[in-house]
Chain A
Amino acid sequence: GQQLNQSPQSMFIQEGEDVSMNCTSSSIFNTWLWYKQDPGEGPVLLIALYKAGELTSNGRLTAQFGITRKDSFLNISASIPSDVGIYFCAGQGETSGSRLTFGEGTQLTVNP
């Protein structure tokens, strides 16, 4: 099956720092998504990307759909304590129909 490699696995940063995480795939994806999961909760969609090269922002978050269609990155600027959580990339592959494949997640810790 399709796999997404997400890195880094975890990050420990100071409040105010910028953060970057990325996701790569060995196959082409038609859609890239970024979710955040707070402790004890389900994932919440942050940003959806539908076209190669697309750059989309949601507040302090910016994500890009790689031009090769095999990667995506998420940046968080000026991090705050409530950014703590697990960030997942997810994608819909060319041959996966309505299935989403999720990355392994990036655990973000923000020190005040």
Chain B
Amino acid sequence: DTAVSQTPKYLVTQMGNDKSIKCEQNLGHDTMYWYKQDSKKFLKIMFSYNNKELIINETVPNRFSPKSPDKAHLNLHINSLELGDSAVYFCASSHLREFRTQYFGPGTRLTVL
């Protein structure tokens, strides 16, 4: 039933590790996004994919690599995790022509120790 789902909900890991967050949407949307929400609740776009192609790539360290195996999935892989990567990461989806109406997942809280 869930429209946009993310796994895991919580992720606690050590500095230097590599981790992945998965996102799936069953809304039939062609565009998916990753946002980062910092400790002050500020939401910032990181990446956007349309039909498996990267269309938005903000100034994000190249330790972050999104992967879209198909248009219903957008995963985020993070290498060599740093303390400053601790945040809540949200996946979202929309139709590209209706990008103003984005549906968000429940978020993944990443804590780097």
Residues in A lying within 8 Å of B, measured CB to CB: 31, 33, 37, 40-45, 48, 50, 86, 88, 92, 97-100, 102, 104-105, 107
Contacts and interface: CB of A to CB of B under 8 A. Distances in A.
25 contacts: A37-B41, A41-B106, A42-B92, A42-B104, A42-B105, A42-B106, A43-B43, A44-B104, A45-B101, A45-B102, A48-B100, A97-B56, A98-B31, A98-B55, A98-B56, A98-B96, A98-B99, A99-B45, A100-B99, A100-B100, A100-B102, A102-B44, A104-B40, A105-B41, A105-B43
A86 B96 CA distance: 26
Interface in B9-33: 31
Contacts of A86: 41
Nearest to A106: B41
